[in-house]
Structure formats: structure tokens, C-alpha cells
């Protein structure tokens, strides 16, 4: 199992489910469908969560008609959707139990044509998990390893309210 974040003693529910399913036949597809059921818009790109580890997640978008733009490359909004999914899964799998998160914004640069399947990756420094603004680095890669989109998704991190 992955190392815990500072102030986190056991895996989050998301990480525990991923760790349970990842080695099952079709386990990553099942996990991906579970995520899409919780946030249905992600399902529009038919993503596959490839890997989840603390403070990092990668999601695969297969190139195909459903995600094409007018020049038959992967549409940048489909890629942004994949990057947001990678960020969300990473956050849910990694956030210390006393904190919560919400996205505040996204800044992306389109750096190359996306003419193949796309791997969307979200990463954050393990020490960044504290109240306030937290930028999450996101990058999308083609099958040759070329970065086709890069940027940041900014999160607002806050303490969970005390339970009554």
C-alpha cells in the first residue's frame, strides 16, 4: 500500500476501493464506472482510471469519435474533463481525513495536437495538503509521451466542520 499523507493514519475510502479492485479482472474499469456514477459527466469521455497512488492519479481517454473535434483529434474539453477526473480521484484518494476540498478554477495551455489516446495525470506535493489555495499540476500526454495540455487546477482546502 502507498505511504500515507502527513496526518493521515489509514487509506481514504476511495484509495481502499481502488486498492481492492485494481488487481481484479476488469477491476480498473469497475472502479472507473463507480467514479462516473458519482460524477456522471465524467462518463461522457469513457475514461479508465489507470493508476491511483497517494498524490497522483492517471486517467486514460481512448481516441474515438465520441471525443473528436472537427479535425479528428481529441477535443481539448474532453481532455480537460479527463484532467478534472484525475484531479478529483487523486484528491479523494489522498486528502487527509480532517480536510475537504472544492475546485476553484482551472488554467490550461494547449501545447500540441492530441492525435492519439490521451493519458491525463494529476499530481500534488504531499506537503501541500493544508487549508487555503492548493494548485494541482495536471498534464495530458499522447502515446509518444508528448505533453498536449498542461496547467493547474486550483483547489480550496478547508478543515471539516466539527461533528455535533
Average pLDDT over residues 15-33: 95
Mean pLDDT check: name the lowest of 1-5, 11-15, 60-64, 138-142: 1-5
Q: What φ, ψ does residue 52 adopt, rounded to 5°?
A: -130, 125
| Contact between residue 119 and residue 125 where contact means Cβ atoms under 8 Å apart | no
The answer to whether residue 4 scores a pLDDT higher than 50 is: no
User: Which of these, 7, 25, 6, 4, lies nearest to 16 by C-alpha position?
Assistant: 4
User: Which of these, 89, 88, 150, lies nearest to 118 by C-alpha position?
Assistant: 150
Q: Is 3 helix (H, G, I), strand (E, B) or coil?
A: coil
- The pLDDT tens digits of the residues spanning 90-139 come to 999 999 999 999 999 999 999 999 999 999 999 999 999 999 999 999 99
How high is the pLDDT of residue 1? 36
All domains in the chain, ordered by first residue: 13-159 (3.10.129.10)
The CA distance from 98 to 16, in Å, is: 17
The position carrying cell 469519435 is 65
Q: Is 42 helix (H, G, I), strand (E, B) or coil?
A: helix
The CA distance from 45 to 126, in Å, is: 29
The CA distance from 140 to 159, in Å, is: 30
The pTM score is: 0.92
The CA distance from 18 to 132, in Å, is: 27
The CA distance from 140 to 137, in Å, is: 10
Angle at 108 between CA 106 and CA 110, to 5 degrees: 160
Cα atoms found within 13 Å of the Cα of residue 100, Cβ hemisphere only? 5
Amino acid at each position: 500500500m502507498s505511504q500515507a499523507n502527513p496526518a493521515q493514519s489509514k487509506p481514504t475510502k476511495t484509495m481502499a476501493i481502488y486498492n481492492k479492485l485494481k488487481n481484479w479482472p476488469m477491476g480498473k474499469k469497475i472502479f472507473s464506472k463507480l467514479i462516473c456514477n458519482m460524477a456522471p459527466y465524467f462518463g461522457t469521455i469513457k475514461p479508465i482510471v489507470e493508476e491511483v497512488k497517494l498524490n497522483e492519479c492517471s486517467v486514460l481517454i481512448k481516441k474515438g469519435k465520441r471525443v473528436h473535434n472537427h479535425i479528428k483529434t481529441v477535443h481539448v474539453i474532453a481532455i480537460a474533463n479527463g484532467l478534472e477526473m484525475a484531479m478529483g480521484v487523486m484528491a479523494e484518494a489522498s486528502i487527509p481525513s480532517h480536510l475537504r476540498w472544492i475546485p476553484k478554477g482551472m488554467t490550461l495551455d494547449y501545447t500540441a495536437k492530441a492525435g492519439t489516446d490521451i493519458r491525463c495525470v494529476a499530481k500534488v506535493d504531499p506537503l501541500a495538503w493544508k487549508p487555503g489555495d492548493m494548485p494541482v499540476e495536471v498534464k495530458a500526454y499522447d502515446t509518444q509521451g508528448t505533453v498536449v495540455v498542461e496547467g493547474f487546477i486550483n483547489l480550496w482546502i478547508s478543515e471539516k466542520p466539527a461533528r455535533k
